[in-house]
Structures are given as structure tokens and as C-alpha cells.
């Protein structure tokens, strides 16, 4: 479709403002829901709660999302897509001279930074994954398997003695450690948490720790 075929409102300044306002309201709903789901659990939160958190009425939420489940889908499928896509981009950006140790180190940095930035999503994933509809659960699992395999393949390149299954177990163990962030970051300084997560993850994967 070319630009001339688009509705006139899209080209007008007022159309752009409306689109930006709608996007901001949608993001406000997601952020409000994320905080509420993390604190209370998906089933204990109502649409009215989400609307209040976003500064709108409960029914107004339905202008942006068909249901509370649709919000959960966007949060959990969205973060799985982010991790999978981000991991693939890190590998695609690597030069031919980059060894597996460098690539794994970048993946560790990427995942630790995610965990520190999004502890609420980790908590929601742990507690409310089963609240997703079947199709969304399958999509999340597929993306997670692909993300784990991406790591595991790099690990077998680093240590050819490891089978892919063995590397997969090791990657899951590292994810378990990194994803513990929501349960410790509230009580311990963020910089301390980051350094210890990076050190522990690198050591578990056979990488040299940083000075």
C-alpha cells in the first residue's frame, strides 16, 4: 500500500497527535497491568484496577485491549519475542573473529540487563503463565525453546565435549539463577546484584570472570 492510499487523518498533524496519544495510553495500560499483576497476581486484578492504574475508566481499557487476557498475552509473548529477537541480533552482529566465549558473554550481559530491568515480568511469568490461553502458551514455549537452543549451541561451540542436551541443562540452570532477580533485587543494591549475577553466570558457563 502506498502513502497516498492511507486515510487523510494519518497525514494530518492532528491524526499524528491522536495516534501518538493512543500509543501512549496503550503503553500506560500495559505498565499499570504489569505492576498490578506482579504485586497481586493476574486473577486478583480486575479491568477497573488496570484502568485506575492507567488513569482511565475500566471500560476505556477495552478500546485498546479486547480482554484482560489480551493484556497478559502482550506482556508475556512480547517479552519472549524480545529475548529471542535480541539474542539472534547479538549473534548476527558478531564478527567472524568473535569466539563463542565472546558471544556467550554478550548473551549473559543481555539477559542480566533484562532481568534487572524487568523483574515484574519475570514474576508474572513464574506465577501467571498458566493463565495464558493455549495458543499463547505454545507460542511462549516455542520462543523460549529457541532462545535456550541459541545459547546452548554457542556453549557446545565453546566446549565441544558437551552434548546439546547437557548444554541445554546448563543454560536452564543459569537462567534460573539470573531470573531470581525479583526475589533479591528489592533488598540488595542493584549494582551488587548485577556484578554477582554476571560473575555467577559466566563461571557456570565456563567463561572467565571479569576483574
Distance CA(170)–CA(148), nearest Å, equals: 10
pLDDT at position 210: 65
Q: Indicate the pLDDT class of residue 13, thresholds 50, 70 and 90.
A: low
Q: Do 66 and 86 touch, CB atoms closer than 8 A?
A: no
pLDDT band for position 93 (cuts 50, 70, 90): confident
The model carries a pTM of: 0.86
Q: Are 62 and 104 in contact (CB under 8 A)?
A: no
d(CA 144, CA 150): 10
The pLDDT-based confidence of 113 (bands split at 50, 70, 90) is very high
Please name which of 49, 54, 53 lies closest in space to residue 26, comparing C-alpha atoms: 54
Interhelix angle 68-93/100-117, rounded to 10 degrees, is 150
Domains annotated for the chain, with CATH where assigned, are: 10-65 (1.10.10.60), 68-211 (1.10.357.10)
Q: Residue 206's closest CA among 164, 176, 174?
A: 174
Amino acid at each position: 500500500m502506498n502513502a497516498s492510499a492511507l486515510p487523510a487523518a494519518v497525514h494530518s498533524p492532528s491524526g499524528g497527535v491522536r495516534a501518538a496519544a493512543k500509543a501512549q495510553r496503550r503503553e500506560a495500560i500495559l505498565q499499570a497491568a504489569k505492576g498490578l499483576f506482579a504485586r497481586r497476581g493476574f486473577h486478583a486484578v480486575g479491568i477497573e484496577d488496570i484502568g485506575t492504574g492507567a488513569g482511565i475508566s475500566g471500560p476505556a481499557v477495552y478500546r485498546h485491549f479486547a480482554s484482560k487476557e489480551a493484556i497478559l498475552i502482550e506482556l508475556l509473548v512480547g517479552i519472549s519475542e524480545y529475548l529471542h529477537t535480541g539474542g539472534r541480533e547479538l549473534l548476527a552482529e558478531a564478527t567472524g573473529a568473535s569466539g563463542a566465549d565472546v558471544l556467550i558473554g554478550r548473551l549473559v550481559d543481555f539477559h542480566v540487563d533484562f532481568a534487572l530491568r524487568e523483574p515484574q515480568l519475570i514474576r508474572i511469568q513464574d506465577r501467571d503463565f498458566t493463565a495464558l490461553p493455549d495458543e499463547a502458551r505454545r507460542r511462549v514455549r516455542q520462543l523460549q525453546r529457541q532462545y535456550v537452543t541459541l545459547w546452548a549451541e554457542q556453549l557446545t561451540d565453546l566446549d565441544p565435549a558437551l552434548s546439546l542436551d547437557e548444554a541445554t541443562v546448563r543454560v536452564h540452570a543459569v537462567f534460573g539463577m539470573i531470573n531470581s532477580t525479583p526475589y533479591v533485587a528489592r533488598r540488595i543494591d542493584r549494582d551488587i546484584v548485577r556484578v554477582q549475577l554476571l560473575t555467577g553466570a559466566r563461571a557456570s558457563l565456563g567463561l572467565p570472570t571479569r576483574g
